[in-house]
Amino acid sequence: MTVDANRRTKLIGTAIAAPFAIIASLATLSVMNPNATKPAATPQPSRSGGRIGATTPVPMTAPKLPPEQAQACLALISQLPAQLRDLPARRVSEGPEQNAAYGDPPLTIQCGGKDVELDPTAKIWIISDVCWYAEIGESSTVWQTLDRKVQVTVTIPAAYAPSGQASGQWAAALSAPLVSAMPSKPTRYDCGPA
C-alpha cells in the first residue's frame, strides 16, 4: 500500500469513527448528569393551585410595633417552616420580622395589629390549642387569633381552600409555631383555658 492509500484509509476511518465517538460522549454525559440535556423547568401549578417559585416580594405593610410585640412576632416568624404544606416561603415587601408569605397566590401571615372585637354570638374556632375567628370572603378567608398576646392574621386565598371552613386546615398547620412562640392570654371568648 502506498503512502497516499494509507493516508486515505486513515481519513476514511476517522470520518466513520468521529460521529460514533461524539454520540458515545453525549450518551456518557447524559448518564452521568441526566438533567444536562433537559430544558430548564418552568414553574408549574402546585397541588393546591399556586405556582411554585414565585420570586417577587409579596406586598405587605409593617406597622411599627411596641418592643414586646416586635420581639414576640420575631419569635413566631423565626419558627415558621420554609414550606407550608406544599407552598414555598416567599419574600415580603415590608417587615420580614413580623410578616411572612407562602405560594402564589400568596398566603400571608401578619403578626401585630389591633385585637379583634367580635359579637358575642360569633363563631369561634379552636384549632390545635389556638383560638381563631374566621372571616370568610369570596376571594379569601381571613383567620385571626383571639387568645395570643400579639394578634396574628392569616389570609388564605380561596384557590387553596374553596370553602372558607376548609381553610382551617391551613390555620392548623400554623398552630404549632403559634403555640410554641406566642404566649396565650385570657380572653372574653369561649376559647377554653388560657
76 and 127 inside one domain: yes
Sort 70 into a burial class: Cβ within 10 Å, 0-12 / 13-18 / 19+.
middle
Please check whether residue 52 lies inside any domain of the structure.
no
pLDDT at 14 over 60: no
Q: Looking at residue 35, what is its pLDDT?
A: 44
AA letter at 81? P
**8 A C-beta contact, residue 56 and residue 104:** no
74 and 139 inside one domain: yes
Q: How many domains does the chain have?
A: 2
Which distant-in-sequence residues (6+ apart) come within 8 Å of 36 by Cβ? Answer: 29, 30
Please check whether residue 47 lies inside any domain of the structure.
no
Treating both helix axes as pointing N-terminal to C-terminal, what angle do 168-181 and 67-79 enclose, rounded to 10 degrees? 120
Task: Tell me which residue range forms the domain holding 10.
Answer: 1-40
In DSSP notation, 9-57 reads: HHHHHHHHHHHHHHHHHHHHHHHH-TTTTSPPPPP-B-TTSPBTT--SP
Please check whether residue 171 lies inside any domain of the structure.
yes
* Cα distance between residue 149 and residue 153, in whole Å: 13
36 and 96 inside one domain: no
pLDDT at 94 over 90: yes
Please check whether residue 53 lies inside any domain of the structure.
no
AA letter at 39? P
Q: Is 54 or 190 the better-scoring residue by pLDDT?
A: 190
Q: Looking at residue 191, what is its pLDDT?
A: 82
Residue 134: band (very low, low, confident or very high) from pLDDT cuts 50, 70, 90: very high
CATH code of the domain covering residue 130: 3.40.1000
167 and 93 inside one domain: yes
Please check whether residue 169 lies inside any domain of the structure.
yes
74 and 19 inside one domain: no
Please check whether residue 2 lies inside any domain of the structure.
yes
Q: Is 148 or 52 the better-scoring residue by pLDDT?
A: 148
90 and 27 inside one domain: no
Of 1-15, 19-33, 80-94, 117-131, give the lowest mean pLDDT range: 19-33
Residue 31: band (very low, low, confident or very high) from pLDDT cuts 50, 70, 90: very low
pTM of the entire predicted model: 0.71
